[in-house]
Amino acid sequence: MFDSGLGGLSVWRELTRLLPQEPVIYLADRAYCPYGGRSAEDILARSEAITRYLIGQGAKLIVIACNTATSAAARELRRRYPELPIVGMEPAVKPAALHSRSGQIAVLATRATLKGDKFLDLKAQYDDSVDILPLPGDGFVELVENGDLGSDEAHQVVRRQLQPLQAHAVDQVVLGCTHYPFLSHLIEAALPAGVKLVDPARAVSQQAERLLHRHGLATTSSHAPTHRFVTTADAGSMSDFLRRVLDHQGEVSVVDVDSVAD
C-alpha cells in the first residue's frame, strides 16, 4: 500500500480488519506530501518509483491508498504492470447518489482529485440523477500529517471549508481523500444533523480481497502477520501517529525511494 502520507492508514485500518491474516507493507511518501498541489506527471513519477520499490519488497498486490495518486497513475501503472493486481481509490459517488433523499451530494477531496478525469467521469455519470457539489478540503491533509485532529485551529479549518454546504440541501458527503476519515468527527460536527459521511475504505478492502482470491494470492497461514511501515520522511511523527491514533506499535523505517528505484 502507498499514499502521499498518513491518510492511507485509514484504508490500512479497514484492510487489516477484513484480511487479518495478510502481511502489509505501507509506504508513506511524506517527503513529497501533499500530492494535491503537484502535477499529474509528478504524481505518476512518484507512484511509479514507489510501485517498483514495493514490487522489489515482494508485493503481490498494490493498493493505491490515495485518491489523487489513483486519478493520476492507476491507469498507467496497470498498463506497465499487467500481471500485478492494482486496487485504486474511487470517490464513493454511486452509493451516495443511491442513498441521497435530497438529490444533492458533496464530494470532499483535494483539488487535484476534483480536477482529475476519474472524478469528472464519475460526476458525468450521475449528474442526471443527483446534484454533485465538488468541495476542496484545503488544509485537511496538513492537519492529519501534523497529527492535529482536534485543536481549535483544526475545527476552524474544517468549518471554513465546509461553509459552502450551508447553501445546499446536501445529505451525503463523500470523503474523497484517505486523510479525511481521521477528521470525520470534526466534519460531522460542522455539518447539519443527519448528513451522512461516505468512506470508500471498506469497498476498496473488499476489492483487494476479491483480487487476492481471484489470482490465487490469498495468504492461507493462520500465523499473525507482520506489518511494515516505511516513509520517505518524518518517521518519528509517523510512529507517534500509529501509536496514538491507531493504537499500533509498528516501527517505521525511512527509505529514499528515488535511490532504491533507480
Encoded amino acid at 188, one letter = E
- 61 Cβ neighbours under 8 A, 6+ residues apart: 84, 85, 86, 87, 208, 211, 212, 215, 217
CATH 3.40.50.300 assigned to 93-199: no
Is 33 among the catalytic positions? no
For residue 175, give the nearest of 90, 104, 102 by alpha carbon: 90
pLDDT in tens, 42-61: 999 999 999 999 999 999 99
Q: Could you give the percent of the chain with pLDDT greater than 70? A: 98
Report the topology of domain 2-89+202-261. Answer: Rossmann fold (3.40.50)
Q: Could you give the percent of the chain with pLDDT greater than 90? A: 84
> How much is the pLDDT for 177?
95
> How much is the pLDDT for 32?
94
- CATH 3.40.50.1860 positions along the chain are 2-89+202-261, 93-199
> How much is the pLDDT for 80?
97
Helical axes 9-18 vs 235-246, angle rounded to 10°: 50
CB 140 within 8 A of CB 180: yes
Annotate 36-62 with three-state secondary structure. CCCCHHHHHHHHHHHHHHHHHCCCCCE
Q: What are phi and psi of 113, to 5 degrees?
A: -65, -40
Q: Give me the mean pLDDT over the 93-104 stretch.
A: 94
> How much is the pLDDT for 118?
85
Sign of torsion over alpha carbons 72, 122, 155, 144: negative
CB 178 within 8 A of CB 8: yes
Is 66 among the catalytic positions? yes
**Does the pLDDT of residue 74 top 90, yes or no?**
yes
Query: Three cell numbers at 144?
Result: 492529519
- Predicted confidence band at 76 (pLDDT cuts at 50, 70, 90)? very high
pLDDT in tens, 102-160: 999 999 999 989 988 889 999 999 988 999 999 999 999 999 999 999 999 999 999 99
**Does the pLDDT of residue 260 top 70, yes or no?**
no
Q: Give me the mean pLDDT over the 164-193 stretch.
A: 95
Q: Give me the mean pLDDT over the 8-31 stretch.
A: 96
Catalytic residue among 108, 173, 177, 186: 177
Name the strands in the sheet holding 228-231, side by side, starting at the edge strand that comes first in the sequence.
2-3, 25-28, 228-231, 252-254
> How much is the pLDDT for 37?
85
Question: Please, is 216 exposed, middle or buried when counting C-beta atoms within 10 Å of its C-beta (0-12, 13-18, 19+)?
Answer: exposed
The C-alpha atoms of residue 232 and residue 251 are separated, in whole angstroms, by 14
- Predicted confidence band at 261 (pLDDT cuts at 50, 70, 90)? low
> How much is the pLDDT for 50?
97
Catalytic residue among 66, 89, 191, 195: 66
Annotate 137-151 with three-state secondary structure. CCCHHHHHHCCCCCC
**Does the pLDDT of residue 12 top 90, yes or no?**
yes
